A and B are shown apart, each in its own frame.
Chain A
Amino acid sequence: MLKYCQLVIFVLIIMATQVKKKHIPKGVRLGWTPLKDVQPVKLTPELVKGERVAADRPGEQNSSNTKNSYLIP
């Protein structure tokens, strides 16, 4: 009983002395824009420039497993 109480007290002391890590929000870590600074962006042809996705992706398209798992052929 005494040893149990000693163990509990020991654990409580350890928990109290642990330095709590400050949680940094994801938006701050990743450098996102503050909501108050958000502005609309005018669409231009330079912005709307697309890339065709290649059908013959290496290791993917020719794999029978990949073809079988397609939801839409």
Chain B
Amino acid sequence: MTFDYPGYPLKFVQKKPCRDNSAHLFTLIYKFYSPVTRYHYVLNADYYEENVFALKFYAKKDRRSDYKYSKLTNKGDVGNILITCLKVIPLILMDYPNVSFGFVGSRTIDKASRTVEDFKNNQRFRVYRKIVEKKVGFHIFEHFTYEFISGYLLINKHGQQSIENRLKAIIKMFADTYQDLPGL
């Protein structure tokens, strides 16, 4: 599968500061619409110390749900939606050229059986990994996967410190900020 989908236009909404005294400093909020699912989506790019953005997205209709990142809409159009999310990277790189990116596959909740997927190598992570391998090269970023937590890091090659040092700093920052993987 080549994931040759065009995606949809991203619209910048706002830059929202985060004042919880954590490593999370601000969020860039974008939105887009899928004519296939007929849902609006919100894409959050959370900026952290150590010059890294964490990308997250959800259907706007689920914005008040605690499980918004874990829900399945079952409306399809995953290719266009994920390509749209990836399209935020070059947009952000225009203003933050040395920044790195990370994302985690959320665990899926099965409403029918009231069960939840495991942290490790979950289905979202498997799809994200495939699409990133097809759509993100190695000229700007080094790629790292964290299968046990279904995480993916794109470390920007352009920076003052070495990639290894920046990677260690980012991991330490996330581990200090999110000391527990939440139950959900």
Residues of chain A touching chain B, judged by Cβ–Cβ distance below 8 Å, are 25-28, 30, 32-36, 38-43, 45, 47-53, 55, 57, 60-61, 66-67, 69-73
- A38 CA to B181 CA, complexed, in Å: 11
How many chain-B residues does the 8 Å CB contact rule pick out? 49
Which A-chain residue is minimally distant from B67 (CB atoms)?
A35
- A35 with B109, Cβ < 8 A, contacts A48-B175, A71-B86 known: yes
Binding site for A on B (CB under 8 A): 2-4, 83, 86-87, 89-90, 93, 109-110, 112-119, 133-149, 151, 153, 167, 171, 174-175, 178-184
Tell me the minimal C-beta distance from B41 to chain A in angstroms: 18
Q: How many A-B residue pairs have CB under 8 A?
A: 121
A38-B184, A47-B149, A60-B133 known; A71 and B90 CB under 8 Å?
yes
Residue of B nearest to A30 (CB): B117
On whether the beta carbons of A72 and B140 are closer than 8 Å, the reply is yes
